[in-house]
Structures are given as structure tokens and as C-alpha cells.
Amino acid sequence: MHDQGGTGLGQGTRDQAEDLSGQSTFTFVGSGTLFSDIVLRTIDREFTSVRAARYPDVTTWGQVALGHRPARVPPTRLLVVDERQTIDLLHFLETRGDDLAATRLAIAVRRHDGAAALLEHWRDPLTSYGISVLPMNLNLTAWIRLLRLIECGEQYLPVSAIGTAFPAPQGPGQGRGAALRSGSGQGCPGAGASETLTPRERQVLRLLADGRPNKVIARELSVSAHTVKLHIHRIMGKLGVSNRTEAAIHFLRDSRATEDITGTGPEG
């Protein structure tokens, strides 16, 4: 994920030439060092009906994905661009932004100072285009959670890098760990429902969002697996979701979840 440490994922050689027909894509624009084959394969495994693709630069991606819209190139659901190509991305948005109306956007940053510089110099376009800032020095689990959050229609900005570039975040999901600015949120649980959860249900939801199976949650909370199953059933009912993944995404909208995300990975 990170070319100077972080998750320690290595280089890869997979590129955009692979046939990705029949699915939507998470597209990564940058080198195989920053966006390794391991990252791409993880996306393929973790997201339903999604294939990951890597392009060397914004221009090449635009030509292949949008130029003639060949049948084997599916729509881009999420576009993540290396911070070194920020200007190219913004220029593309100025000229062809309508082509990305349904695409989530993020800029990948290697270090805290890179995120701070990005927010300092590009505050207005980040706001107007709803571009998230995606740290690449998180561990893989936290990084995947952030991708899910961004895909869900939220704009993610690391509060630790914001300084005075943006007003202090307000409202649900606005903790000291991250600033989340709501997008359309299509397909995502609504905000506010988590207030109806009991303290025990919040504990179960937090562990569930960490990917713990029911038996592990039961052991950590000193209850039976059956009790955990009942808690999860009630949690999903209160949140209005149909599965564990949707419940975990709801958790990520809460300020407590954003604290977990930004606190798990080492600064590169």
C-alpha cells in the first residue's frame, strides 16, 4: 500500500490490460510501488462485483476508460489517484468532470505532511469535487474500511492534517479522528440510528466491525455465542441493515470508528 513502509506490501506488475468486463472497477492511478498487485487482489477479494485496475497516469486512464468506452472496460466506481498526479486529476475534472458524476474520488497520500500540503493548497477543489484524502500508511484492515466508507459516498479528510484549512467538523461522524462530509450515501445505512443502541450493542458492533467472528466476540465479552447472535440481530434491526458488512459500514460513520481508523497505522 505504501512505498516506504506502512503495510509493507510489495511491488506488482498487473496493469490495465486485463479484461475486466462485466464488473465495475476500483481504479488506481499511479505506480505499482504505491498500488501493488497485492492491493489490487485484496480489492478483488473484499468487494463484491468489483475488479481493481491500475493505470500509470490520469491521461492513460481517461483514454482507455472514457475515450471510446470499449465493452471490456466497465465503469469506474472509485478512482484513487497518486498525490503526485493531483494537478492532472483536477485538470481532468475541469474539462471532463461530468464523466465522473457517479464516481467516488480520492487522492492517495504517503505521509502526514503530504496530506497537510494537499489540504493547504487544494482546499477549494477538494471541497467542490468531494475528493477524499486516502492515507496509504494505514494497516490493510483499516485501509479497506476507509475504502468502504468512501465508496459509500462519504468524503474522508484526516483531521490531524487539516489544521485551519477547513472548519471544525460538526454532526454525526465528525470525531477528532477524521472529518466525514456526507455525499449521496446511496446504499449506506442512515445516520442517527446508532443512538438507539445499548452500550452492550455498541461493544458488539465495534468488535463486529473489526471483523471478529461471533465466537471471538463472545469470548471477549464473556457471553455466549447465542447471546452475541441475538445482539447482532437487534443491532441490524435498529440500524435498518441486512447484513454484518452494512452494520460495519454504519459503525464507520460514527466518530468512534474514525478514531480507530486513523490510529491503527504507523506514520510513514
Last residue of a domain, one of 140, 158, 187: 187
What is the number of H-type helices and E-type strands within the chain? 12, 7
Structural domain contains residue 114: yes
pLDDT at 29 over 70: yes
Identify whether 5 is part of a domain: no
Cα(128)–Cα(208) distance, integer angstroms: 34
Per-residue pLDDT at 17: 44
Tell me, yes or no, whether 108 and 203 share the same domain. Answer: no
**Is residue 240 domain-shared with residue 158, that is, in the same domain?**
no
Instruction: Look at residue 19 and tell me if it is in a domain.
Output: no
Give residue 87's domain range: 24-187
Could you report the per-residue pLDDT of 121-141, keeping only the tens digit for each?
Answer: 898 899 889 899 998 988 787
Considering its fold, how many domains does the chain have in total? 2
Residues 170 and 210 in one domain: no
- Do 24 and 74 meet the contact criterion of CB atoms below 8 Å apart? yes
Same domain, residue pair 104 and 214: no
Q: Are residues 88 and 107 in the same domain?
A: yes
Q: What pLDDT score was predicted for residue 108? A: 96
Q: How confident is the model at residue 59 (pLDDT cuts 50, 70, 90)?
A: very high
Amino acid at 75: P
Residues 145, 169 share a domain: yes
Domain-terminating residue out of 149, 171, 187: 187
Asked whether residue 154 carries a pLDDT value surpassing 50, the answer given is yes
Tell me, yes or no, whether 78 and 110 share the same domain.
yes
* The domain boundary residue, chosen from 149, 170, 187: 187
Distance CA 222, CA 235 (A): 19
pTM for the full predicted model: 0.62
Answer whether residue 245 is part of any domain.
Answer: yes
Residue 164 pLDDT exceeds 90: no
Q: Please give the Cα distance from 14 to 91 (Å, whole number).
A: 27
Q: Do the domain assignments include residue 206? A: yes
- Report pLDDT digits (tens) over 238-255: 887 777 777 777 776 664
- Structural domain includes residue 7: no
The CATH number for 224's domain is 1.10.10.10
CATH of the domain at 37: 3.40.50.2300
Specify whether the CB–CB gap between 108 and 32 falls below 8 A.
no
Question: Does residue 36 lie within any of the structural domains?
Answer: yes
Residue 121 sits in the same domain as residue 164: yes
Question: Do 172 and 243 share a structural domain?
Answer: no
CB–CB of 133/156 below 8 Å?
yes
Residues 181 and 104 in one domain: yes
146 torsion bin: left (phi>0), alpha (psi -120 to 50), beta (else): alpha
Shared domain for 177 and 219, answered yes or no, is: no
pLDDT band at 187 (very low <50, low <70, confident <90, very high): very low
Q: What is the mean pLDDT of residues 161-183?
A: 47
Residue 207 main-chain phi, psi, to 5 deg: -70, -35
Q: What is the CB neighbour count within 10 angstroms for residue 230?
A: 13
pLDDT at 12: 36
Q: Please tell me the distance from the alpha carbon of residue 54 to that of residue 18, in angstroms, as a whole number.
A: 10
Higher-pLDDT residue of 63 and 186 is 63
Do 108 and 183 share a domain, yes or no?
yes
> Is 1 part of a structural domain of the chain?
no
